[in-house]
Structure 1
Amino acid sequence: MSTSRLPEVIKSAKSQLLAEWIRQQLASTGMRRDLIKDGELQAQANDFLNHFHTGAESGEYSNIKAAAWVPTLEMLNQLVRQRERMGFSPSETALFIFSLKEPLFAQLRVSLKGEPDQLINEMLNTSGVLDKLGLYTTEVFQSAREEVIRRQQEELLELSTPVVKMWDGIVALPLIGTLDSARTSVVMESLLQRIVETGSDIAIIDITGVPTVDTLVAQHLLKTVAAARLMGADCIISGIRPQIAQTMVHLAIDLSAVTTKATMAEALKVALQRTGHRVVKGEAK
């Protein structure tokens, strides 16, 4: 059974401890009072202190992943993600934990006066577990930020692959930027969905905005063409610049089964002919 006196100290001096902790947070230069109200901070601090007391009662200070600390970690996870959305920085968020050290040390010194060995032991345990919890908030903050960035990248990916209806039975997909495996999946999904929606027989894939074409990019293009054919649509690849043509020849990339054109205009002309349309020049007025 644990001989730690920390839970006893927290319970007996909770009011003073909570008041001093909040005072120090509000006085800190890293405190964003423009982002959080005093009442909300009070509620969060009280909630954390209750969970912290429960965790400390276990006497398990070396492993915050132990069962006794799970409620504390869950509370911090929610708090960190909320503060990340509110605009707090990682250091401003971690301050919530680290600012508890001084008030706790002060109460320990008062309660354990005349017991220097016990005081040192309790301060080491307290410092260690608060450090671990502070680092945990940084990890959660980083994870939350990465999730936001990942969602934004997915949204940008979808926006960067617009499928345009050029004519009855003809759609076009202008590609801009690097074509990798993740983007190929989005390109396929967008193109196939649009083919079904419009009942198109021909899809023009324009790679004018693709900076380089290597073997991998060519494979992604061929996969997209094959997927479109399974949906009953033929594909034309436009935007084959001289440099890209030379690269393809050098890499022995075989696109002989696919119609290729130098420009979107030429590809559209071929597509119109295949769908039974004829482009003629009108008389100038």
Structure 2
Amino acid sequence: MTATDSAVREQLISALRDHDEDIADKWVRLQTEQEGLGAGIGEDELRVEADGLIAALLAGLESGLPAGRIVSSHPELRGTITELSLRRARAGGTPTATSLAVLSLKEVLLSIFQRTTRDAEELFQAALLINRLVDTAGVLSFDTYVASREEIISRQSRQLLEMSTPVVRLWRHVLAVPLIGTLDTARTQVVMESLLQAIQTHEAQVAIVDITGVAAVDTSVAQHLMQTVAAVRLMGADCVISGIRPPIAQTIAQLGVDLSEILTRATLADALAEAVKITGQPALPTGDAVRR
């Protein structure tokens, strides 16, 4: 760091320390005046954000870290920016508006710094330092917002998968998973986890995987089914696949997929009857017996 860089850094530290309230006021006012930057957050909350960010920025500059690493390596500053971004995301702000709100601090800092010196070189070096700090902060706020939204979307997608693949207790010691739609790797994982947990919880002896609602079966789907069957057997339970319609049976045969070691039935009712037989329970009543 050159003598000029060091002097400019000390001047910026002094400006933040001596004019912190003024900087916070100007930054809050700038956000409220420009539509969208405030993300619907109240002025009092914006002021709390401003005070926190300015204090963290001051601590980062005083830490002695190189200017290019202050935002990424200073825990307090990085945490403050991350929390600001997450708060804006929860309030419904966009990632662009959030990063622009952070970047608008640049204008305020430059205007305040001009009060400390009229030297053109110092002003130029100050602009470089402020740009580096605030630009990095803006990028971090954008990345944090996007990462948080991706996490939310991923969590919601998993919840939808779990809801779309319920494990149903059909009979004592007999469970069933009715599959509808496509069966990919992610869904297979959810099916396995839910089914294996249910087998343990209900002490199930037989699990029925019903593929009546699966539109088509290819090599990948067949492989996923075999993985599920293998996992169920490792839990000490038997597995029956039901819903093998003629087109699906023909496709499986053409693909050369060997399901000879897996118990299959055409309908869920047939699979349930077989499952009850496997558990050694009394046979299910026929339709006539039920009506009587």
TM-score by length of 2: 0.85
Distance 1:278 1:78, change over 3 A: closer
Runs of 5+ unmatched residues, structure 2: none
Cα deviation 1:72-131 (Å, max 9, x = unaligned): 111111221222222221122223311112222212233222x11211121122122211
Q: Give ranges in structure 1 of 5+ residues lacking alignment.
A: none
| The structure with more helix, counted as a fraction of residues | 2
CA drift of 1:179 comes to 2.5
Q: Deviations over 1:129-178 (max 9, x none)?
A: 21111011001111111111122122222222211122233321101233
Point out the more displaced range, 144-153 or 200-209. 200-209
Match of 2:174 in 1: 170
**Alpha-carbon distance between aligned partners in 2 of 1:49 and 1:234, rounded to the nearest angstrom:** 63
**Cα distance between partner residues in 2 of 1:24 and 1:236:** 65
Secondary structure in 2 matching 1:63: helix
The residue that corresponds to 2:272 in the other structure is 268
CA distance in structure 1 between the partners assigned to 2:110 and 2:82 by the alignment: 25
Q: Is the 8 A contact 1:60 1:66 kept in 2?
A: no
Change in 2 beyond 3 A, CA 1:18/1:257 = same
TM-score, L = length of structure 1: 0.87
Task: Please show how residues 216-235 of structure 1 align to structure 2 within 5 Å.
Answer: 216-235=220-239
Identity of aligned residues (%): 40
The ranges of structure 1 where at least 4 consecutive aligned residues each deviate by more than 4 angstroms after the TM superposition are 272-275
**Superposition pairs of residues 104-119 of structure 1, within 5 angstroms:** 104-113=109-118, 115-119=119-123
What amino acid sits opposite 1:211 in the alignment?
A
CA contact (8 A) 2:71 2:136 kept: no
Q: Which amino acid is the alignment partner of residue 101 of structure 1? A: K
Q: Does 1:102 align with 2:113?
A: no
The 1-side partners of 2:24 and 2:237 are apart by 68
The one-letter code of the counterpart of 2:182 is T
CA contact (8 A) 1:77 1:140 kept: yes
Q: Partner letter of residue 103 of structure 1?
A: V
Q: Which amino acid aligns with 1:97?
A: V
Q: Secondary structure at the match of 1:277?
A: coil
- CA-atom RMSD, angstroms? 2.5
Q: Which residue number corresponds to residue 252 of structure 1?
A: 256
* Range moving further from structure 2, 138-147 or 156-165: 156-165
Once residues 66 and 90 of structure 1 are traced to their aligned partners in structure 2, the CA distance between those partners, rounded to angstroms, is 19
